[in-house]
Amino acid sequence: TAVVDALGLAKANASIIYASAGGKIFSTTNGGTHWIDRSMPGAADRFVDFAVDPIDPNIVYVVRDRVNDGSNTGHVFRSTTGGATWTDITANLPDIPAQSMEIDVRGPGLADDVLYVGTDAGIYRSVDGGASWSIMASGLPRVQIREIEYQKNLGILAAGTHGRGVWQISVPDMTAP
């Protein structure tokens, strides 16, 4: 028995839930009656946050809050198969723990989504599906970001830090005409 570290709920299908516990990842497609082990080979650390695509519940992201232990295990992973397979999209993120993840879905598919990751050194953003990441420097302190939440209708990314309070960042809709 292990403590649940994170849950990811699918807005598009309330029966689909993702969970991490004891270094493993699980999913259910029937509201929790039956769970399937969706763990990644070679990555048995704490996974601390999920971000589930609100349009396609088979697209899910998970972040890991550990530094690289020599196993070359990344910090940000994506599945487009409901957790059956995972791709490391850490790319050029520094080797620091990732704490939280948010998606700004701009339309169907992955091509135009914006990804946000809260790390131990601030928030990083990717506009190319995780192929590259850049620090969001909009006045945020370079501290541990424990939680991020995105409110698309308001264009606001909120960041809860460890010891520096809560910050609000205006995130313009890059798809607007």
Cα–Cα distance, 86 to 79 (Å, whole number) = 5
Q: Which of 24, 25, 118 is nearest to 75 (CA)?
A: 118
Instruction: Give me the amino acid identity at 168.
Output: Q
pLDDT per residue as tens, the chain (177 positions) = 789 999 999 999 999 999 999 889 999 999 999 999 999 887 767 899 999 999 999 999 999 988 776 665 789 999 999 999 999 999 999 999 999 999 998 877 788 899 999 999 999 999 999 999 999 876 777 888 999 999 888 888 889 888 777 888 888 665 554
User: How high is the pLDDT of residue 110?
Assistant: 81
User: How high is the pLDDT of residue 45?
Assistant: 75
Helices assigned H by DSSP within 23-173? none
Q: Which of 34, 39, 21 is nearest to 83 (CA)?
A: 39
User: How high is the pLDDT of residue 156?
Assistant: 86
The reported pTM is: 0.90
